[in-house]
Structure 1
Amino acid sequence: MTDKKNTSSRKEELRSFTFLTVVMAPVLVGALIAAYGFAVWIFQMFAGPPHG
């Protein structure tokens, strides 16, 4: 009984790890990049475009 519980727990842990690394990590990185771009855009609306 312990082996069966251990196996299902390990499968669930592997599934969770795969979901976090394949789905959530790229989504969070994309959201952070989008938030940074949005913040720069808002800042440039108030401060003006960069001068070169």
Structure 2
Amino acid sequence: MTADSRGDTSKRKETRLFLFLVACLFPILSVMIVGGYGFIVWMYQMIAGPPGPPV
């Protein structure tokens, strides 16, 4: 195995990892973070009541 073929393999792996991160992992994480935040706000409002002026 020459240095060039090892570099090509490494570059190919790096490209595949980049595509996986951009196309799969980041969208899934962003949906999970936004959904988790929405769930936390929803649970808080279940306990504390909806926002608005005091009655």
- Normalising by structure 2, what TM-score? 0.89
Q: Is 1:15 aligned to residue 16 of structure 2?
A: yes
CA distance in 2, matches of 1:7, 1:51: 60
Matched residues, number: 52
Structure 1: which 4+ aligned runs deviate by more than 6 Å?
Answer: none
Note the residue ranges of structure 1 that are not aligned, 5 or more in a row: none
Which entry has the higher C-alpha Rg, 1 or 2?
2
C-alpha distance in 2 between matches for 1:23 and 1:2: 31
**CA RMSD in angstroms, aligned pairs only:** 0.9
What pairs up with 1:1-52 in 2 under 5 angstroms?
1-51=2-52
The unaligned stretches of length 5 or more in structure 2 are none
Question: How many Å separate the matches in 2 of 1:51 and 1:17?
Answer: 45
What's the % identity of the aligned pairs? Answer: 38
More helix per residue: 1 or 2?
Answer: 1
Cα deviation code 1:29-52 (max 9, x no counterpart):
000010001000110011111226
